[in-house]
């Protein structure tokens, strides 16, 4: 092989390498763009997750408050039921006494 042929062969190889390098550079730019898009999507998902966690914490706090209020209302209901039963017992006793008085006077 002559020197000129070797140089031509080398130039052809370099052209092939250059084309391959250019192709890989373009692919790298595309992959970087995809990667950036995925990073943005990941950041958005992390933000959404953070908001969902905050909403859950707020809901949990509200549930706790409502449970305390519910327990208080149940206690009040029990107390009022006891008071109502005592009042009804007094009314029945008074009615019984009046009936006895009416029967005695007849």
- The 10s digit of each residue's pLDDT in 61-92 is 999 999 999 999 999 999 999 999 999 999 99
pTM higher than the cut 0.85: no
Two structure tokens written together for 106: 């007849």
Could you give the CA distance from residue 39 to residue 32 in angstroms, rounded to a whole number? Answer: 10
Percentage of the chain lying above the pLDDT 90 cut: 87
pLDDT at position 21 is 97
How high does pLDDT run on average in the chain?
94
- Degrees, nearest 5: CA angle 25-27-32: 95
pLDDT at position 32 is 97
Percentage of the chain lying above the pLDDT 70 cut: 98
């Amino acid at each position: 092989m002559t020197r000129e042929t070797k140089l031509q062969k080398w130039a052809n190889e370099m052209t092939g390498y250059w084309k391959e390098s250019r192709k890989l550079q373009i692919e790298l730019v595309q992959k970087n763009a995809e990667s950036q898009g995925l990073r943005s999507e990941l950041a958005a998902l992390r933000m959404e997750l953070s908001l969902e966690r905050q909403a859950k914490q707020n809901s949990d706090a509200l549930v706790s408050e409502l449970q305390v209020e519910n327990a208080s209302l149940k206690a009040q209901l029990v107390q009022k039921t006891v008071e109502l039963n005592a009042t009804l017992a007094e009314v029945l006793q008074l009615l019984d006494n009046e009936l006895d008085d009416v029967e005695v006077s007849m």
